[in-house]
Amino acid sequence: MAECATYGTVAVLQINNPPLNVLGHDVRSQLMSGLQQALQDKAVCSIVIMGKGQTFTAGADVKEFGTEKVFWEPTLHSLVEAVSASTKPVVTAIHGTTLGGGVALALASHYRLADSSAKMGLPEVQLGILPTCGVTQRLPRLVGLQTAVRMVTSGQTQSAQQALTAGLLDKVVTDDLLKKAVGFARSVDVRGLEARRVSSWTVPGADRAEDVLDAARKTLVRRSRGAIAPLTALQAIQASLLPFETGMKREAELGRYLWTSWQAAALRYAFFAERTVKRWHIPRNKNVNYRTAEPMDIKSVGVLGAGTMGVGITISLLQAGLKVVLTEVNKAQLDKAVSLIQRSLEGKSGGKPQPMQLRATTDYSQLREVDLVIEAVFEDLALKKKVFQQLDAVTNPRTILATNTSGLDIDQIAAATQRPDKVIGTHFFSPAHVMRLLENIYGRHTSVETIATAMQLGATIGKVGVLVGNCPGFVGNRMKGLNFTEAMFLLEEGAEPQDVDKALEEFGFAMGPFRVSDLAGGDVHWRRRIQAGLTTEHGPPPYTPVLYRQGNRYSPLADMLCMQGRFGQKTGAGWYRYKSGSRTALPDAEVHRLIHKHRQDHGFQRRNISSQEIVERCLFPLINEGFRILEEGLATGPQDIDVIFLLGFGWPRHTGGPMYYADKVVGLGNLLQSLEKYRAYHPRSAHWVPSSLLRKMAAQGTSLSIWAAGSRL
Ligand code: NAI
């Protein structure tokens, strides 16, 4: 766990807790006793702390979070203070990616040395907690307020060179860190020790502190969108201007506040949920699961359709070192795609895709030898069926055929082939080379090998794969669609687009639904509604009431905007107007007039609508649908739904995801009550009918987490 050795007058304490050398209780205990021995050993003049294996230490053991173990002595805090108080100089020698507690140890040491490839970072705020153990007090004293605020609140890692420039490191070395650290430790002198304790320093540039902190506060209020950890961290850093002991008390106080906050619990849940979804099984047959399945080895992938998604998917695959055959019917589009791909990969570590790795063609027969094809042609079922028939004919029978459809029936697509067991949905999110989510959809006949291969492919290209069952829109789009429906009803009843967007942005979304619609282009969904027979290019279908379609309440407002050619940013006007070349959404009197007239024409009485009602009306139907999805066995557990929303739809991470939020923040009883309340006002909206699973759980007073614990292998 931690090994001690002496090299002449230097004692070396090496953490050995693979793979990441996390500072669990055993490691802390052994480091502490190693330190004490070295202090007692008269032959030892200085001490080196370092790590074996791939990193110095990745910090605290997250598995201890939420348990008593984290408070067992020696705590990380006691260890760090013992290092700082050491009567012999302590040199920390850093390599690999050193996080959180590792940085705390380094800051408390008297000298900091690092290998040139080392990285240092403070990810605590991303888990809703504060970097404590003196980090918020020592770091600003060492690197100044501005850098400290950036490191603590962003969680971004610093390279060794950046850390050296910032003053966080004393020296960067190449090769043989142990030898260099021992040599360095021999050269340091106990006489200068007092001055090397960062706790005795004052924060540089303290006279400009107010301006720096004010500017940081403004940025954080805007960026953190309801997350409390970044602003709390700023308060702790501000306390570094006080005497060290006072600042430490403040840090401990704020640390406790965040540690016990609901947001820290939610962020911890989100962290583990991303790991839990890897443990997939098919709800109706638990024997088909991640343990029993063997994936196929995938070395080459065909991508069919070189549009927006085909380009992003190709970039992801090439970056992971896979060979890609990009196939497209339109030669001009293909050339454009290849140049986009090359530009995107230029300057990245992989450099330009080698000719061997990317083959671009208009000839389907080039797909003959690939291991897997991902189809990304237009969202049109007839076209997809035709294309799958062609793929079935041209590819090797062992090739897996995947579709990137946003919500079409996987079984119908599979039925166009002679190999339905090898057909699966691999739903990427746009931009596909950036978004980390891969929603994998199995059909009725998809084999366990095909499922395992799609899940493995996700991991290979750095995505988080979530396995779900087949239904219109799958999990993500099926739930998300409901949020926009209610957003429009809110406009009819009195809200303006900017009111709805503001309420959801305050809840934590980067953009409200109307700004998202303007960004994505309102025409995309308009075409889908036309295809679904809900509307026509000229208004409601004949003999159809304006406010009702297919048995449900319907708002035609989005259709009315599209009929005027207002598709959003690309046409300079949508729910907002946009100045030429600008993406800033400006409220538009035209839209307000259109909504106002619609309200008058249909007898809506305008009323004031609170932000709380807006949030509940937009999010609760979506959550209710999540319960239905669980009930229908389309997702393995609530974590799967939460990960889809966190990674695919920008759901604010500090709330844990829609299902966690419902379970732990709103409460299932309250959620049920609200659904009933809104249902009484909106009896013709099926999405307000509470799911029977929710009813059952609320009646039993059970929670989703208890229910889920039994459902996952
Ligand atoms: P797109 O319109 O940008 O690209 C489609 C491409 O397919 C075009 O370049 C077209 O020339 C090509 N194509 C059409 N028929 C073809 C054929 N028979 N053989 C080869 N190529 C053919 O469409 P986009 O946005 O890339 O969408 C593709 C698929 O991905 C759709 O099913 C869509 O629903 C889905 N999707 C789209 C997302 C988005 O945000 N754009 C997100 C997730 C899924």
pLDDT above 70 for 413: yes
- Does the beta carbon of 34 lie inside 6 Å of ligand 1? no
- Does the beta carbon of 309 lie inside 6 Å of ligand 1? yes
- What's the whole-number mean pLDDT along residues 282-286? 81
* 664 alpha carbon – ligand 1 mean position (Å): 39
- Per residue in 610-625, pLDDT tens? 999 999 999 999 999 9
For residues 657 and 635, give the distance between their C-alpha atoms in angstroms, rounded to a whole number: 15
Q: What is the pLDDT of residue 181?
A: 97
- What's the whole-number mean pLDDT along residues 227-255? 97
The vertex-61 CA angle with 60 and 63, nearest 5°, equals 145
The domain 611-709 is classified under which CATH number: 3.30.1950.10, 1.10.1040.10, 3.40.50.300, 3.40.50.720?
1.10.1040.10
Homologous superfamily in CATH for domain 477-497+510-601? N-(1-d-carboxylethyl)-l-norvaline Dehydrogenase; domain 2 (1.10.1040.10)
pLDDT above 80 for 710: no
Cis peptide before 140 (omega within 30 of 0): no
* 521 alpha carbon – ligand 1 mean position (Å): 15
- Per residue in 122-134, pLDDT tens? 999 999 999 999 9
**DSSP SS3 for 25:** helix
* 375 alpha carbon – ligand 1 mean position (Å): 8
> What's the CATH code, domain 2-259?
3.90.226.10
Side-chain-side CA neighbours of residue 90 (13 Å): 29
| pLDDT band for position 712 (cuts 50, 70, 90) | confident
Can you read off the two tokens belonging to residue 179? 């030898």
Q: What is the pLDDT of residue 352?
A: 57
Q: What is the pLDDT of residue 356?
A: 61
- What's the whole-number mean pLDDT along residues 683-693? 93
- What's the whole-number mean pLDDT along residues 306-318? 96
| pLDDT band for position 349 (cuts 50, 70, 90) | low
- Does the beta carbon of 543 lie inside 6 Å of ligand 1? no
Can you read off the two tokens belonging to residue 330? 């339109």
- Does the beta carbon of 473 lie inside 6 Å of ligand 1? no
Side-chain-side CA neighbours of residue 219 (13 Å): 13
| pLDDT band for position 213 (cuts 50, 70, 90) | very high
CATH 3.40.50.720 domain position(s) in the chain: 282-473
- Does the beta carbon of 367 lie inside 6 Å of ligand 1? no
Ramachandran area for residue 388 (φ above 0: left; ψ -120 to 50: alpha; else beta) = alpha
Q: What is the pLDDT of residue 335?
A: 97
- What's the whole-number mean pLDDT along residues 654-682? 97
Instruction: Please say whether the dihedral angle defined by the alpha carbons of residues 463, 467, 471 and 477, taken in this order, is positive or negative.
Output: negative
Atom of ligand 1 nearest to the CA of 330: 11
For residues 425 and 446, give the distance between their C-alpha atoms in angstroms, rounded to a whole number: 10
Going by C-alpha positions, the residue among 159, 108, 105, 100 that lies closest to residue 125 is 100
- What's the whole-number mean pLDDT along residues 506-535? 93
Q: Which of 284-293, 447-456, 478-487 tops mean pLDDT? A: 447-456
- Does the beta carbon of 531 lie inside 6 Å of ligand 1? no
* 167 alpha carbon – ligand 1 mean position (Å): 50
- What's the whole-number mean pLDDT along residues 270-289? 90
* 606 alpha carbon – ligand 1 mean position (Å): 41
| DSSP alpha helix (H) spans, 464-532 | 476-493, 497-507, 513-520, 522-531
Q: What is the pLDDT of residue 373?
A: 98
> What's the CATH code, domain 282-473?
3.40.50.720
Atom of ligand 1 nearest to the CA of 384: 18
pLDDT above 60 for 418: yes
The percent of residues in the chain predicted with pLDDT above 70, rounded, is: 99
* 378 alpha carbon – ligand 1 mean position (Å): 4
For residues 295 and 40, give the distance between their C-alpha atoms in angstroms, rounded to a whole number: 56
CATH 3.90.226.10 domain position(s) in the chain: 2-259
Residue with the bigger pLDDT between 284 and 574: it is: 574
pLDDT above 90 for 708: no
pLDDT above 80 for 627: yes
Q: What is the pLDDT of residue 516?
A: 93
- Does the beta carbon of 325 lie inside 6 Å of ligand 1? no
- Does the beta carbon of 376 lie inside 6 Å of ligand 1? yes
Asked if 530 and 540 touch (Cβ cutoff 8 Å), the reply is no
Find the largest Cα–Cα distance for the chain: 97
Q: What is the pLDDT of residue 501?
A: 97
Identify which of 338, 364, 375, 378 to mutate to test ligand 1's pocket (most ligand atoms within 8 A of the CB): 378
pLDDT above 90 for 3: no
Atom of ligand 1 nearest to the CA of 310: 26
Q: Which residue carries 């540039």 as its tokens? A: 205
Residue nearest to atom 12 of ligand 1 (CA): 305
CATH 1.10.1040.10 domain position(s) in the chain: 477-497+510-601, 611-709
Q: What is the mean pLDDT of the chain?
A: 94
Residue nearest to atom 28 of ligand 1 (CA): 376
Q: What is the pLDDT of residue 347?
A: 66
- Does the beta carbon of 536 lie inside 6 Å of ligand 1? no
| pLDDT band for position 39 (cuts 50, 70, 90) | very high
**CB-count exposure of residue 19 (10 Å: 0-12, 13-18, 19+):** exposed
Q: What is the pLDDT of residue 348?
A: 66
Identify which of 303, 304, 309, 394 to mutate to test ligand 1's pocket (most ligand atoms within 8 A of the CB): 309
Going by C-alpha positions, the residue among 628, 322, 637 that lies closest to residue 466 is 637
Residue with the bigger pLDDT between 284 and 638: it is: 638
- Per residue in 372-411, pLDDT tens? 999 999 999 999 999 999 999 999 999 999 999 999 999 9
- Does the beta carbon of 304 lie inside 6 Å of ligand 1? yes
- Does the beta carbon of 314 lie inside 6 Å of ligand 1? no
Region of poorest pLDDT, from 80-94, 275-289, 627-641, 652-666: 275-289
Annotate 300-342 with DSSP letters as a single string: EEEEE--SHHHHHHHHHHHHTT-EEEEE-S-HHHHHHHHHHHH
Torsion of CA 616, 618, 621, 626, to 10 degrees: -100
Q: What is the pLDDT of residue 690?
A: 97
Residue type, 669: G
For residues 643 and 645, give the distance between their C-alpha atoms in angstroms, rounded to a whole number: 5
| DSSP alpha helix (H) spans, 512-602 | 513-520, 522-531, 557-563, 589-601
For residues 59 and 41, give the distance between their C-alpha atoms in angstroms, rounded to a whole number: 28
Side-chain-side CA neighbours of residue 617 (13 Å): 25
Residue with the bigger pLDDT between 368 and 288: it is: 368
- What's the whole-number mean pLDDT along residues 274-302? 91
pLDDT above 90 for 355: no
For residues 468 and 690, give the distance between their C-alpha atoms in angstroms, rounded to a whole number: 22
Q: Which residues of 351-378 are buried (b: 16+ CB within 10 A; e: fewer)?
A: eebeeebbbbeeebebbeebbbbbbbbe
| pLDDT band for position 66 (cuts 50, 70, 90) | confident
The percent of residues in the chain predicted with pLDDT above 90, rounded, is: 88
- Does the beta carbon of 337 lie inside 6 Å of ligand 1? no
- Does the beta carbon of 405 lie inside 6 Å of ligand 1? yes
- Per residue in 117-166, pLDDT tens? 999 999 999 999 999 999 999 999 999 999 999 999 998 999 999 999 99
Radius of gyration of the chain (CA): 29
Atom of ligand 1 nearest to the CA of 428: 43
Q: How far is CA 572 from the centre of its chain?
A: 31
- Crossing angle (nearest 10°) for helices 638-648 and 476-493: 70
pLDDT above 80 for 642: yes
| pLDDT band for position 350 (cuts 50, 70, 90) | low
Q: Which residues of 50-71 are buried (b: 16+ CB within 10 A; e: fewer)?
A: bbbbebbbbbbbbebbeeeebe
* 687 alpha carbon – ligand 1 mean position (Å): 30
For residues 136 and 207, give the distance between their C-alpha atoms in angstroms, rounded to a whole number: 19
Q: What is the pLDDT of residue 2?
A: 82
